């Protein structure tokens, strides 16, 4: 039996997306009655947990996939890189204003300056990187980027990666404004404030049914052996990889034809202080043939709970779970008449990706070490241990009767704006603020114009094109750097 409830919005999932949306909404309308339902026994235990992701503040400072080469060998377009960077600035501005207002504590606990670098090998890639640098060096949001193909200079930037390296041509770009972010800590701090602000955060509550009722939505499930059922006029499904199945359960037509392509991830990690001392950067490189963009290898400095380590990976893999704590039946049970063809067409069209993922799973420890040695030629297996990170659920989007594999995020919203959910995982937590502003706009379209001044208090560059105004870009970077104790 449905228990009457007077929540204004039910949010499913205790990750960074839900936390961000709830904090935004509580600032825009403190009277809103919100409840968060999380199936695990705490929040931030899935992809948003620090160990389950790479902690990169994705601002397109170092990731080649946000700036593909120009097919004619010209200067590659910076448009996508600028757009990603600007979205990350919105996250920086949001966190900075929350630190200033005391909602978030001690920025050193969740964000650190760490140079972002792109490292490439071979003349073809060196040439591409140089043209990429030419395209970005004068963009206001990419201020301070340097390029070098001088091995001595590179050895001063990334000694660990140059030690024992042969004579192959190499080059890198480096930019100091890069960041390492503990998204789990961000999530935990946001939830701590939400609880203080009267938002109910119910853990060990697994939602299994989302049904339309006359007053809105009835959201039901189990907590332990007990059933629960809540209702509200609006619902947000921020259930990570399980968003697909809950949106399918809601039967909104907008989810028809969608599917999810799960990609698992493992990292090699070391806490050897000698190695850590010789590598202080997040270094992204070129992708292997067939590799998906989010599997571009990188060697990263990570700071989690005050401890520094180095991470190398990800080693992607194929398994049918949509969440790390999900089920091997996730993929088979997500198949519907409307998404069979999208699933099949994506598998056929992306056969090189499927082969790549299978090969990655089958990689022996020795082969994983060989991949690491492309970054750290002197690496020894004794220093590195392999661990499982989170599960990425990439979007399969219907395209006619077939489907296409997307590497971004997709907000699905019913036509009446009463239920929205989030599919996809890239660029991920870095752009949580932009994506959740989009969700807020879809769920509360009628309030948006009156909320704009309050949104600008939290995110001053909201609606502005930062990169086209050098003064504004500099001001935003400086202000957020000061509040978040980052390098300006
Ligand atoms: C290997 C890897 C590396 C990554 N690296 C980066 C990176 O460097 N930078 C970056 O910005 N992003 C990165 N990401 C992406 C980023 O981690 C995600 O985009 C982000 O954490 C997603 O947040 P979320 O809140 O949507 O999902 P999650 O953190 O997964 O939270 C979803 C929550 O919903 C809960 N839930 C699910 N179903 C139900 C249900 N039925 N009832 C109740 N609760 C439910 C889950 O238990 C979970 O707690 C990475 C991801 C992976 C996997």
Number of structural domains (the chain) is: 1
Mutation test residue for ligand 1: of 15, 16, 394, the one with most atoms within 8 Å of CB: 15
Give the pLDDT mean for 455-463. Answer: 97
Q: Rounded to the nearest 5°, which phi and psi values hold at 145?
A: -70, 135
The pair of structure tokens assigned to 323 is 């969440």
Q: Report d(CA 206, CA 242) in Å as an integer.
A: 11
Q: Report d(CA 314, CA 316) in Å as an integer.
A: 6
Task: Show contacts of 438-443: CB within 8 Å, 24+ apart.
Answer: 438/411, 439/21, 439/236, 439/411, 439/413, 440/21, 440/24, 440/25, 440/28, 442/411, 442/413, 442/417, 443/9, 443/234, 443/236, 443/413, 443/417, 443/418
Q: How far is the CA of 389 from the centre of ligand 1 (A)?
A: 11
Q: How far is the CA of 296 from the centre of ligand 1 (A)?
A: 19
Does ligand 1 have an atom closer than 6 angstroms to the CB of 421? no
Distances 39 to 2, 15, 75, 203, 421 between C-alpha atoms, Å: 19, 11, 48, 6, 17
Q: Report d(CA 309, CA 315) in Å as an integer.
A: 18
How long, in residues, is the chain? 488
Task: Say if 2 falls within a structural domain.
Answer: no
Does ligand 1 have an atom closer than 6 angstroms to the CB of 37? yes
Whether the CB-CB separation of 388 and 317 falls below 8 Å is answered with no
Closest residue by Cα to atom 51, ligand 1, is 53
Burial class (CB in 10 A: 0-12, 13-18, 19+), 439: buried
In DSSP notation, 388-407 reads: EEEEEEEEEEEETTEEEEES
The neighbouring-strand residues paired with 313 are 298
Does ligand 1 have an atom closer than 6 angstroms to the CB of 431? no
Does ligand 1 have an atom closer than 6 angstroms to the CB of 432? no
Does ligand 1 have an atom closer than 6 angstroms to the CB of 179? no
Task: Say if 346 falls within a structural domain.
Answer: yes
Does ligand 1 have an atom closer than 6 angstroms to the CB of 430? yes
Peptide bond into 373 cis (omega under 30): no
Does ligand 1 have an atom closer than 6 angstroms to the CB of 238? yes
Q: How far is the CA of 309 from the centre of ligand 1 (A)?
A: 22
Mutation test residue for ligand 1: of 239, 293, 325, the one with most atoms within 8 Å of CB: 239
Q: Report d(CA 339, CA 287) in Å as an integer.
A: 29
Task: Say if 369 falls within a structural domain.
Answer: yes
Atom index in ligand 1 nearest the CA of residue 267 equals 1
What is the pTM assigned to this prediction? 0.96
Please write the tens of the pLDDT for every residue from 83-138.
999 999 999 999 999 999 999 999 999 999 999 999 999 999 999 999 999 999 99
Res 2: pLDDT: 44
Of 341, 455, 329, give the one whose Cα is nearest residue 398: 341
Confidence of residue 4 (pLDDT cuts 50, 70, 90): low
Does ligand 1 have an atom closer than 6 angstroms to the CB of 12? yes
Least confident of 149-158, 397-406, 413-422, 434-443: 397-406
Please write the tens of the pLDDT for every residue from 369-382.
999 999 999 999 99
Closest residue by Cα to atom 25, ligand 1, is 15
Atom index in ligand 1 nearest the CA of residue 429 equals 11
Task: Say if 61 falls within a structural domain.
Answer: yes
Q: How far is the CA of 265 from the centre of ligand 1 (A)?
A: 13
Considering all CA atoms of the chain, what is the largest pairwise distance in Å, rounded to the nearest integer? 72
Residue 228 structural domain = 9-468
Res 352: pLDDT: 83
Of 417, 394, 404, 421, give the one whose Cα is nearest residue 255: 421
Task: Say if 483 falls within a structural domain.
Answer: no
Q: Report d(CA 287, CA 281) in Å as an integer.
A: 18
Whether the CB-CB separation of 39 and 65 falls below 8 Å is answered with no
Q: How far is the CA of 158 from the centre of ligand 1 (A)?
A: 31
Res 293: pLDDT: 67
Q: How far is the CA of 240 from the centre of ligand 1 (A)?
A: 5
Supply the CATH number for residue 43's domain: 3.50.50.60
Whether the CB-CB separation of 99 and 108 falls below 8 Å is answered with no
Residue with the larger pLDDT of the pair 332 and 2: 332
Atom index in ligand 1 nearest the CA of residue 55 equals 8
Residue with the larger pLDDT of the pair 6 and 133: 133
Res 87: pLDDT: 97
Q: How far is the CA of 360 from the centre of ligand 1 (A)?
A: 22
Res 289: pLDDT: 64
Q: How far is the CA of 16 from the centre of ligand 1 (A)?
A: 7
Least confident of 70-74, 191-195, 297-301: 70-74
Q: Report d(CA 190, CA 193) in Å as an integer.
A: 5
Q: Report d(CA 311, CA 53) in Å as an integer.
A: 10
Closest residue by Cα to atom 53, ligand 1, is 390
Mutation test residue for ligand 1: of 20, 23, 48, 432, the one with most atoms within 8 Å of CB: 48
Mean pLDDT over all residues of the chain? 94
Q: How far is the CA of 15 from the centre of ligand 1 (A)?
A: 6
Burial class (CB in 10 A: 0-12, 13-18, 19+), 224: exposed
* pLDDT beyond 50 at 171: yes
Does ligand 1 have an atom closer than 6 angstroms to the CB of 45? yes
Please write the tens of the pLDDT for every residue from 262-302.
988 999 999 999 999 999 999 999 887 667 766 789 999 99
DSSP 74: S
Does ligand 1 have an atom closer than 6 angstroms to the CB of 206? yes
Burial class (CB in 10 A: 0-12, 13-18, 19+), 225: exposed
Q: How far is the CA of 321 from the centre of ligand 1 (A)?
A: 13
* pLDDT beyond 50 at 1: no
Task: Say if 3 falls within a structural domain.
Answer: no
Least confident of 9-23, 64-78, 346-360, 416-430: 346-360
Atom index in ligand 1 nearest the CA of residue 313 equals 1
Atom index in ligand 1 nearest the CA of residue 40 equals 47
Task: Say if 239 falls within a structural domain.
Answer: yes
* pLDDT beyond 90 at 432: yes
Does ligand 1 have an atom closer than 6 angstroms to the CB of 55? yes
Task: Say if 96 falls within a structural domain.
Answer: yes
Distances 467 to 83, 429, 450 between C-alpha atoms, Å: 9, 21, 26
Strands lying side by side in the sheet with 34-37: 200-202, 34-37, 9-12, 234-237, 419-424, 409-413
Local structure of 351: helix, strand or coil: helix
């Amino acid at each position: 039996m449905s228990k009457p409830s007077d929540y204004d919005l039910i949010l499913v999932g205790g990750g960074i997306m839900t936390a961000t949306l709830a904090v935004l909404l509580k600032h825009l309308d403190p009277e809103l009655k919100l409840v968060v339902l999380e199936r695990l026994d705490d929040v931030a235990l899935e992809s948003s947990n620090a160990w389950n992701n790479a902690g990169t503040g994705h601002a397109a400072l170092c990731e080649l996939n946000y700036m593909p080469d120009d097919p004619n060998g010209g200067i590659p377009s910076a448009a996508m890189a600028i757009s990603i960077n600007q979205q990350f600035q919105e996250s920086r501005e949001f966190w900075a204003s929350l630190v200033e207002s005391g909602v978030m504590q001690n920025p050193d606990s969740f964000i650190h300056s760490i140079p972002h670098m792109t490292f490439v090998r071979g003349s073809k890639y060196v040439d591409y990187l140089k043209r990429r640098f030419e395209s970005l060096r004068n963009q206001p949001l990419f201020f301070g980027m340097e390029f070098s193909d001088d091995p001595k200079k590179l050895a001063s930037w990334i000694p660990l990666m140059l030690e024992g390296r042969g004579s192959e041509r190499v080059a890198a770009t480096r930019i100091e404004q890069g960041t390492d972010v503990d998204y789990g800590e961000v999530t935990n701090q946001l939830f701590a404030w939400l609880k203080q602000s009267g938002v109910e955060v119910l853990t060990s509550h697994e939602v299994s049914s989302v049904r339309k009722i006359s007053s809105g939505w009835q959201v039901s499930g189990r907590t332990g052996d007990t059933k629960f059922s809540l209702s509200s006029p609006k619902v947000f499904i921020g259930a990570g990889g399980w968003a697909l199945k809950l949106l399918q359960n809601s039967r909104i037509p907008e989810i028809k034809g969608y599917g999810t392509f799960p990609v698992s991830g493992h990292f090699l990690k070391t806490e050897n202080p000698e190695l850590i001392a010789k590598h202080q950067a997040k270094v992204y490189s070129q992708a292997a043939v067939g590799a998906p963009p989010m599997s571009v290898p990188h060697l990263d400095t990570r700071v989690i709970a005050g401890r520094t380590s180095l991470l190398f990976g990800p080693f992607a893999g194929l398994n049918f779970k949509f969440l790390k704590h999900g089920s091997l039946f996730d993929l088979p049970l997500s198949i519907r008449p409307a998404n069979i063809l999208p699933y099949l067409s994506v598998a056929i069209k992306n056969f090189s990706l499927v082969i790549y993922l299978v090969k990655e799973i089958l990689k022996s420890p020795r082969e994983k070490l060989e991949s690491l040695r492309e970054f750290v030629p002197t690496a020894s297996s004794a220093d590195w241990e392999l661990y499982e990170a989170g599960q990425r659920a990439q979007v399969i989007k219907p395209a006619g009767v077939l489907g296409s594999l997307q590497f971004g995020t997709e907000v699905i919203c019913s036509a009446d704006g009463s239920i929205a959910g989030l599919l996809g995982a890239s660029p991920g937590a870095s752009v949580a603020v932009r994506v959740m502003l989009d969700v807020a706009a879809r769920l509360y379209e009628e309030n948006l114009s009156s909320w704009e001044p309050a949104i600008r208090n939290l995110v001053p560059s909201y609606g502005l094109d930062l990169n086209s105004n050098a003064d504004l870009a500099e001001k935003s970077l400086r202000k957020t750097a000061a509040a978040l104790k980052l390098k300006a």
